[in-house]
Amino acid sequence: MKKVIISWSSGKDSTLTLIRLLEDPRYDVVGLYTTYVEDEVPFQATPLDVVRAQAALTGLPLVEIPLPEVFPSNDVYQSLVIDGLRVCGLGVEAVAFGDMFCNGIADYRRSYIEPVGWQCVFPLMGQDSRILADEILLRGIKTLLTTIDTSQLDGDFCGRWYNRELIESLPEGVDPCGEDGEFHTLVVEAPCFDGKLDIALTEIEQQSRFHYQRYCLT
């Protein structure tokens, strides 16, 4: 069994990745890792304390890797991730990602992960988004849309639960898993959690392009 650590965004894709790998006899999931800027995960806009609460529910250690800005250069980003995983003490042999589309992202990940001697693992890669959306629902992954890119999807979707009704109401051209960046999610309950994340929704922050559902732990 290879010791694998999972890139953890706090959303449904990384959660499904974790569930799949926990069931895979080839891998021993040793932890999760997240990158953050000023105590918040970029794009998902998930507060770091919420990510820590999720990790606690999985029973896995969380490796926290700070970034100097949301879009550091590739060299800076890659070196920070590699250095963070090297010194985490978990004996990492493989790194897993929840990417779905074969759009060059796998080659990019491999370009800095594999030279270290680690394997890149993509449990969801190349699979149909609608089938994966069905699996997310069937698995009982309860998730909330917390970030909307209003250039691709109406901001009214912000704060809605990811369920069958929502998926069927998505406009034509919007990926049912939001894999083109239309939306990002927060998972509050899943089979890999021992318990659930208790949050209270507060306001919806409307920026020029992105809308964010804000919330707090209760």
Mean pLDDT, the chain, as a whole number? Answer: 96
pLDDT in tens, 138-163: 999 999 999 999 999 999 999 999 99
149 shares its domain with 79 = no
pTM of the model: 0.96
113 shares its domain with 180 = no
Beta strands in the chain (DSSP E): 2-7, 27-36, 40-41, 46-47, 62-66, 94-96, 119-121, 142-149, 183-189, 199-206, 210-217
Can you give the CATH number for the domain in which 153 is found?
3.90.1490
pLDDT level of residue 91 (50, 70, 90 thresholds): very high
pLDDT level of residue 59 (50, 70, 90 thresholds): very high
Decide if 31 is inside a domain. yes
Quick one: pLDDT at residue 42?
87
Quick one: pLDDT at residue 101?
86
36 shares its domain with 113 = yes
DSSP per-residue letters across 55-75: HHHHT--EEEEE-SSSS--HH
Q: Which domain holds residue 90?
A: 2-121
Number of domains in the chain: 2
162 shares its domain with 117 = no
Quick one: pLDDT at residue 103?
80
Quick one: pLDDT at residue 102?
74
56 shares its domain with 156 = no
